Amino acid sequence: MACGTVEIEGKRGLCKLDRSVANEFEEGISVSIISHITLGTNDKDRSARFYDAALGAIGFSRLPKPPEKPLAYERDGQMPIIYIYSPEDGRPATWGNGTHVAFIAATKAQVHGFHEKALQFGGTNEGDPGPRPHYGPNYYAAYIRDPDGNKLQAVCYAPD
């Protein structure tokens, strides 16, 4: 199912919507349908330690930014970028009930690494690593909350 013609860095292509969760272009470039994800924090230094470890376990790295800028993470130079901000309105960061962000892990070992590092750096367990057959035959995931209460998941779709 096409969603129209788009242009990225001078290359035109047809945006297709499908279950791959990516837009594919005729020239062979692939881009996420999500630009970025922003999560709130009340303690940037604590969040830096937590996200460096937890997202690092699934292949993300922190982007170099001046200290006054928010934390930002990417994987393989691809979108989405994950931003960790203190709220602009000055009120405390809070989390939403019923919401979470799921990060794709390439392997089940990465799911375990994400969960382990998250707990080691101040996260709380919301679901041990393991299969979730009610979501699909190859759905292997772990759930945690970051130190600010944001619910995060690492999920691997690779077959056994």
How many other β-carbons are positioned within 10 Å of the β-carbon of residue 65? 11
Query: Considering all CA atoms of the chain, what is the largest pairwise distance in Å, rounded to the nearest integer?
Result: 47
- Determine the Cα–Cα distance for residues 119 and 137; give it in Å rounded to an integer: 27
3-state secondary structure of 60: coil
| Distance in angstroms (rounded) separating the CA atoms of residues 42 and 115 | 22
Pairing of strands 30-32, 22-24: antiparallel
pLDDT digits (tens, 9 = 90+) for 31-61: 577 889 999 999 999 999 999 999 999 999 9
DSSP 93: P
CA distances in angstroms from 89 to 36, 66, 126, listed in the order given: 20, 21, 29
Q: Is the pLDDT of residue 7 over 90?
A: no
The per-residue pLDDT for range 94-151, each reduced to its tens digit, is: 988 778 999 999 999 999 999 999 999 999 999 999 999 999 899 999 999 999 999 9
Quickly state the pLDDT bin for 30 (edges 50, 70, 90): low
pLDDT given for residue 42 in this prediction: 95
Neighbours of 153 (CB within 10 A): 20
Other Cβ atoms closer than 10 A to 63: 14
Q: What is the pLDDT of residues 55-91, one digit of tens each?
A: 999 999 999 999 999 999 999 999 899 999 998 888 9
Q: Are 1 and 18 in contact (CB under 8 A)?
A: yes
